[in-house]
Each structure stands twice: as C-alpha cells, then as structure tokens.
Amino acid sequence: MNTADIKVKLISQKSSKSLLKGIKKTKTDVEILFCFRNQKTKDKSYETFNLPSKKDFVIIKPKASQDTLERIQEAINEESFLAEDQKTLTLRHCGTDTKHTIVIGLGDLKDQKQDGLCLETFRRCGAIAFQSLSHIKAKEAKLSLHHFDLVSDRTEKMLHAFLLGLKLASYQFEDHISKKSKVSFNSLLLALPQLSKETKSKEMVLTNTIDQASHICEGITFARWLADHPGNVIHPVNLAKEVQKKFKSTSVKVTVWDKKRIEKERMGLLYGVGQGSSVDPRLIIMEYKGRGLKRNTAPVCFVGKGITFDSGGISIKPSRSMEEMKYDMCGAADVIGTMVALEKLQAKVHAIGIVASAENMPGGAATKPGDIHYARNGTSVEVFNTDAEGRLVLGDALCLAVEKKPQFIVDAATLTGAIVIALGNDHTGYFVRGEILADAIEKALEATGENAWRMPLTEGHRKSMKGIHADLKNIGDGDHPGAGSAKGAAFLSYFVSEDIPWAHFDIAGTAYNVGHLYPYCPRKGASGLMVRTFCQLALNSFE
Ligand code: BES
Ligand code: ZN
Ligand code: ZN
C-alpha cells in the first residue's frame, strides 16, 4: 500500500565468527549498529562495548571488527559523528562482508526517559535507519540480535518500536503523483544466535512481535491514507465506501446510514452540518467482536469527527491555510485505523467505532448562525458559529455510542484551534470523566510513548455552553472568553450520560504536519498519532 513492503525475517546464526559466513551467503547490503554515549547504564537488555579510546561511547555489540571500531573512532575523533540522537554514520567496506555499516546515534543516556534506552528512541532510530538505508539505495539490511537479552520481554518491546519506526517512516502519499518514487529497501534480516531450546521459543515470540508491529502499522497507514486524501476525493460518501471496502471479508460489520436515515434516526446536528454541502453526510458504524469473548461483553466505543472538509460554513474561515481543513476528518481516520489494527491483531475485544461524517460548506441550504437543531437525545442547540461544527456532529455520534451501553467511550477530533495554542504540536489534549478511565489512559500512554496532556473539564465550562433560546449553544460566551478547547469538551459532555466513563481527545495540534517532531511521521501529512494508544486502551480493557 502506501508503506514500503518491507519483509522482516528471522535468521539464525551460530556466533560472531560464523556470522560472517552467514552474511556472505545472504549477501546483505548493510549491517546496522547502534551507538550512544555514557557507559553507565543499568539496563541489562543488551550487551555493550565501549570504544577503547573513547570510553563514554558505547556500541550495542560486545565485539565488532577492529576495522569497524577504528573507523567509528576516527569519526568521533574528527567530531563528524558523535552518536547524537538521530545522527548516522555510514561506513563502506570496513572489514565485514557487508557493503555498508550504518551506525545509528541514539544520543546521550542521560537524555532518555528511563534508565537505559527508551522505546521512543528505538522508534525514532527505526525511522532514521529507513532514511539512511533509502539514501544509499540499500535493498537488504541485517540487524544482529545476538547482543540483546533474549530472555526478558524488553527485547520484544525494543524490536517492536524499531520495526514500527522503520515501517511508518516509509509511508508516502503518492496516489495523485504521476511519477511514484522507488523504494529500494525491502528486506530486514534479524539475526538470532543459533537455535537452542530457549531461542526456539523466543523465535516464536519474536515472529509474533514482527506481525504485531505490522498490524498496528497497517491501522496507522490506513488512517494516514484516508486523511491525506483531498476533500474532493474522500468526501463523506466515499469515506463510507472506503470503510466498507477495507472491512470486506473481515469479521468487522460495517453499517452506513445515509442522509435520509440520519434524519430518521433524529441526528439533527449531523444533518444540520451536512445540509450546506452538495455531498450528503454519512454515519458509519464498525463493530468488531474478537473470538472467545463472553456473550454479553460490553463494547468499548471509539467515536470520530469526520468533517472531510471544513470551510467554516456560513461563519466562513479565512482563506489562509484553509486547504489544511481536509484533515478535519483525522479523528474519524484514527478511529477507523484503530478498528483496522484491532481486527488485524485479532484482538480479544469487543469494539465499536462510530464516525460522523459531513462536509461543512456554506451552500444555499446551509445552517445559518442562530439556527436551532435537535440532537438525537432531544437536546436543542443554537448554532451561533457554524465553524464550531465538530462538536455538533460528535454530539449525535456520542448519543449513539451511549445507547451501546459501552464500558467506556473515547472520541477523537480535530476540534479546536485553541488546543494548538495551549499545547502546540507535540501533545494531544485530552479531557476525561471517570478516574478509572483516566488511569487506563495514563497507562496506555505510558505503554505507547505517545504524548497527551490531561486538560480540565469543569462545571464552569459546562455552564458557559447553556443556550439562550435553546438548551445549549455551540460556542462559549463572548463575555467570558478563552478556554476554547475546554468549552468544546464541555459541550460534548452533554451528550454522554454521567455513568459512562468518557474521554475526548482534541487532536487538532497532532493529527498532521508533525514530522518535525517525530521522524516516523510525515513532515507534511497525517500522522496517525493516537491510533496506538486507542488500540492499547481497547486491549487493556479486557485484561
Ligand atoms: N476544524 C476546526 C478546528 C481546527 C483548527 C482544527 C485548526 C485544526 C487546526 C474546528 O471546526 C473549528 O473551526 N473550531 C473553531 C471553534 C470556534 C468557532 C469556537 C476554532 O477553533 O476556531
Ligand atoms: Zn470548524
Ligand atoms: Zn472542524
């Protein structure tokens, strides 16, 4: 698809000595080595080797050929390579049988989030590895796992992170570009020590790790691919079609409601947002039930904002950067991507994804400021600003999610520009009601390493959304400005009954164009961030 088809294979090799023979046989282009600074790690997940004359530079490998070591030392002496985070050193023909050795800098140990190298470092270095390998047009590379602790589960986690970074970095959206770029790199060999009883069982575990990374990657890739499409190609009708196509012949049941059905189902808010466009809105429901679940296992619900283009409607946006508003369906894309990954993983969960999709346009039939619409739960809403449309479509979708009697509801939306002001591009803002869910979110974030910051959801914010001639209004008071993101979240809270744990993720700052922060995300394009955390949340829910 849009990530390179990189085959990852486990190969077994006797020892460092016979390793060389193995390499000859498989004619690997490149060997990958890791180098970082500061030898005082307590992390026992990998064996390290200090460069003899530069004692605080460490290589993950107890022995490397003399020639390789000398060449690395030379670069360090010359200060052309100091193992800085995400910097690489490419050596040609240096004593080993591979054509190249790529040494990837992992930075200084003291800059890591934990004692030892953190997983985010391995994700980043996977991405950097892909870039370096592409740069020299390598087809195949080898990473030796001889020097990683194959007993603890830490190696799987590091490998998972590395593979994810490598694959995600290969994503390119070139569907509408005539001359597609050629990706040479297509094979990664993971060398294991010769099989013993211990490594034999490890081989199965690692094979599983390779598959899992690839399934998660497929979910993220699909989310990016949907979101990167322009509004004229993926509008609500086509979004629904793509979802149906993707889940065809899988166990995910897809239901699509058209405009008529949306009206019949009393989704007046979604209907109202869609009425200014020549393309009809759609409500998409995806249901996945893993095998072996108890009959009545309550689902976990993911709800996504799917505005395939947000012009602002009658409260039209300024034209500067308006093209970015094709990304206003990233919440929906993340929810769909999460469902793809859960199905691929054959996760033992019951998950429902709901996407409310419309195009927000200022057509003749469009909602006018001051218009009142009714939500599915009977709440009336005065639309004072047609550009605050995400909360409207989500309102109806959240009502539907509540009816599924879920364990929890998580929604994702590019809801407010204010969250970008508050947190910038490296943290998603999330609002949560229910401390058990709040703990679960923190745990999931810790496991995936994704950045999200908890924001406040107060009675004061809720009050500010009370309407004048209707129950609610869709923007806060001009008299008490500010807290735009919290007010958006407060509006949503009226559509979720208090007994259901619920979280709202405002991804406006992290959903696209964040590649300057994460080398495994495109510089320009959708990131697919939070898909990993949503999957983790679902997986943890039934533990
Ligand atoms: N889709 C926008 C939010 C957005 C802004 C996403 C920037 C990504 C980048 C949303 O529909 C919107 O326009 N929100 C308004 C709300 C306001 C009118 C209360 C905003 O943030 O200005
Ligand atoms: Zn808007
Ligand atoms: Zn919007």
Contact indicator for 270, 285 with CB cutoff of 8 Å: no
374-380: average pLDDT: 98
pLDDT of residue 477: 84
| Order of strands across the sheet that contains 408-413 | 253-257, 282-289, 350-360, 300-310, 408-413, 502-506, 428-433, 452-454
Residue 344 Cα to ligand 3 midpoint, Å, equals 30
The gap from C-alpha 23 to its chain's centroid, in whole angstroms, comes to: 35
Q: Which ligand is nearest to the CA of 477?
A: 1
Residues around ion ligand 3, judged by CB within 5 A, are 307, 310, 328, 390
What lies within 8 Å, CB to CB, of 378 at 6+ separation is none
pLDDT of residue 28: 82
Residue 313 Cα to ligand 2 midpoint, Å, equals 8
Tokens of 94: 């240096």
pLDDT of residue 176: 96
**Protein residue with its CA nearest to atom 8 in ligand 1:** 508
311 three-class SS = coil
pLDDT of residue 339: 99
The answer to whether residue 416 scores a pLDDT higher than 90 is: yes
> Which is it for the CA torsion 426, 512, 216, 293, positive or negative?
positive
pLDDT band of residue 479 (cuts 50, 70, 90) is confident
Atom of ligand 1 nearest to the CA of 312: 13
Atom of ligand 1 nearest to the CA of 360: 11
**Protein residue with its CA nearest to atom 5 in ligand 1:** 417
Q: Catalytic residue at 391?
A: yes
| Bridge pairing between strands 54-59 and 49-51 | antiparallel
Share of the chain above pLDDT 70, in %: 95
The answer to whether residue 255 scores a pLDDT higher than 90 is: yes
Q: Rounded to whole angstroms, how far apart are CA atoms 89 and 232?
A: 44
CB atoms within 10 A of CB 236: 31
More confident of the two residues 29 and 169:
169
Tokens of 129: 């590895």
**Protein residue with its CA nearest to atom 18 in ligand 1:** 388
What lies within 8 Å, CB to CB, of 325 at 6+ separation is 231, 307, 309, 310, 311, 317
Q: Which helix (DSSP H) or strand (DSSP E) does residue 224 occupy?
A: helix 197-228
Q: Rounded to whole angstroms, how far apart are CA atoms 347 and 88?
A: 37
Q: Choose the catalytic residue: 157, 317, 454, 462.
A: 317
Residue 445 Cα to ligand 3 midpoint, Å, equals 25
The answer to whether residue 510 scores a pLDDT higher than 70 is: yes
Q: What digits encode the pLDDT tens for the residues 103-130?
A: 999 999 888 887 788 999 999 999 999 9
Q: Which residues line ligand 1 (CB under 6 A)?
A: 310, 328, 385, 387-390, 414-418, 420, 475, 484, 508
Buried b (16+ CB within 10 A) or exposed e, 83-92: bebebbbebe
**Protein residue with its CA nearest to atom 16 in ligand 1:** 388
What lies within 8 Å, CB to CB, of 418 at 6+ separation is 483, 484, 485, 488
CB atoms within 10 A of CB 67: 14
Q: What digits encode the pLDDT tens for the residues 434-476?
A: 999 999 999 999 999 999 999 999 999 999 999 999 999 999 9
Q: pTM to 2 decimals?
A: 0.96
Q: 225 φ, ψ to 5°?
A: -65, -40
Q: What is the mean pLDDT of the chain?
A: 93
Atom of ligand 1 nearest to the CA of 416: 21
Residue 505 Cα to ligand 3 midpoint, Å, equals 14
The answer to whether residue 169 scores a pLDDT higher than 80 is: yes
289 three-class SS = strand
Left if phi > 0, otherwise alpha if psi is -120 to 50, otherwise beta: which for 188?
beta
pLDDT of residue 159: 96
Residue 460 Cα to ligand 3 midpoint, Å, equals 24
Continuous H helices in 62-196: 66-77, 119-135, 154-169
The answer to whether residue 266 scores a pLDDT higher than 50 is: yes
Q: Which ligand is nearest to the CA of 312?
A: 2
Q: Choose the catalytic residue: 167, 202, 344, 391.
A: 391
**Protein residue with its CA nearest to atom 7 in ligand 1:** 417
pLDDT of residue 137: 96
